[in-house]
Amino acid sequence: MATPVPVAPRRRRRSRARRSTPLTIAMLAALAYFLLPLFWLLIASTKSTQDLFNSFGLWFSHAPQLLANVKETFTQDDGVFVHWLLNTVMYAVVSSVGAALLAAAAGYGFAKFRFRGDRLGFNLVLGAVMVPTTALAIPTYLLFAEAGLVNTPWAIILPSLVNPFGLYLMRVYAQDAIPDSILEAARIDGAGEARIFFTIALRLLAPGLVTVLLFTLVATWNNYFLPLIMLNDPDLYPITVGLSSWAAQAQNGGAGSSSDMLALVVTGSLISILPLVVAFLLLQRYWQSGLAAGGVKQ
């Protein structure tokens, strides 16, 4: 039936538009800056710790050993890196799916229903967009410590479930993408509100939902401050905290077992960014239209 209003309609380019070579070259130069550290990471993960210091940083050494590095990354400390990877996936997936669903339901509720206190509730959340998460993190830690939640996965997942900007985005999106006439028609056909939400609204909200999901996924995947303060059991660490603990070991000196740590930090870093980069490439058209909704409306 009706399709949601496209948020970012693709304009047809004038066919006579000429391409500009100077502009393209300037932008390629900018691109080089953005890709340089990633290029370095790719090269560096093929090197031993020794070669990281002895060979030129932006080119391969004489003895590339990517596979050996990967194997060592996964087996160091009885495979703790695998734990970190799985923890990160678990925290990120549970948080982002939960946050997206909560934001979708609430955004839909605020967009399509009038009830007592709706304006106040929404404005409260809108104001909360400005409260920085790290300013909240320390009091949250103290509260969680009293509740016995510190050093459990809940300490990471629960705070990530509330995404005020996600709610704002879903409300804007619901307003545009769900025509009231469809809701009325479904009600006349006798569908309950819950059924209307799950079978009709959620489907129309899908692109916005994917946007919130993807951005919460990135935020949780990349989260460092919250797990840093909430967790002290290495088996519960996400990749970010794990890598920084390895980096600290690597920097503490070349003595003994820590001398090979740097290669592991580098290879682990490369492995940690691959899933997100792939997710973004695959889901491009969703996050772009979703972001457009947030950036255009007031």
| Site of tokens 């980096």 | 247
Examine residue 208 and tell whether it contacts another protein (CB under 8 A).
no
Sign of CA dihedral 108, 111, 116, 122: positive
Residue selected from 187, 195, 203, 285 as contacting another protein according to rule CB under 8 A: 187
Residue selected from 73, 95, 140, 216 as contacting another protein according to rule CB under 8 A: 140
Q: Which residues contact 111 (CB under 8 A, 6 or more apart)?
A: 170, 171, 172, 174, 175, 178
Examine residue 253 and tell whether it contacts another protein (CB under 8 A).
no
Examine residue 276 and tell whether it contacts another protein (CB under 8 A).
yes
Examine residue 100 and tell whether it contacts another protein (CB under 8 A).
no
Site for another protein, residues 36 to 75, rule: CB under 8 A: 36-38, 40-41, 44, 52-53, 56-58
Examine residue 149 and tell whether it contacts another protein (CB under 8 A).
no
Q: Cα(260)–Cα(111) distance, rounded to whole angstroms?
A: 55
Examine residue 86 and tell whether it contacts another protein (CB under 8 A).
no
Site for another protein, residues 5 to 24, rule: CB under 8 A: 7-14, 17-21, 23-24
Please answer whether residues 214 and 96 qualify as being in contact, where contact means their C-beta atoms are separated by less than 8 angstroms. yes
Task: Measure the N-to-C terminal CA separation of the chain; round to a whole number of Å.
Answer: 29
Residue selected from 113, 123, 195, 235 as contacting another protein according to rule CB under 8 A: 113
Nearest residue (CB) to another protein, 73 versus 289: 289
Please answer whether residues 43 and 59 qualify as being in contact, where contact means their C-beta atoms are separated by less than 8 angstroms. yes
Q: Cα(72)–Cα(67) distance, rounded to whole angstroms?
A: 8
Examine residue 239 and tell whether it contacts another protein (CB under 8 A).
yes
The CB density around residue 237, as the number of other CB atoms within 10 Å, is 23
Task: For the CB of residue 67, give the shortest distance to another protein in the complex, in Å.
Answer: 21
Examine residue 128 and tell whether it contacts another protein (CB under 8 A).
yes
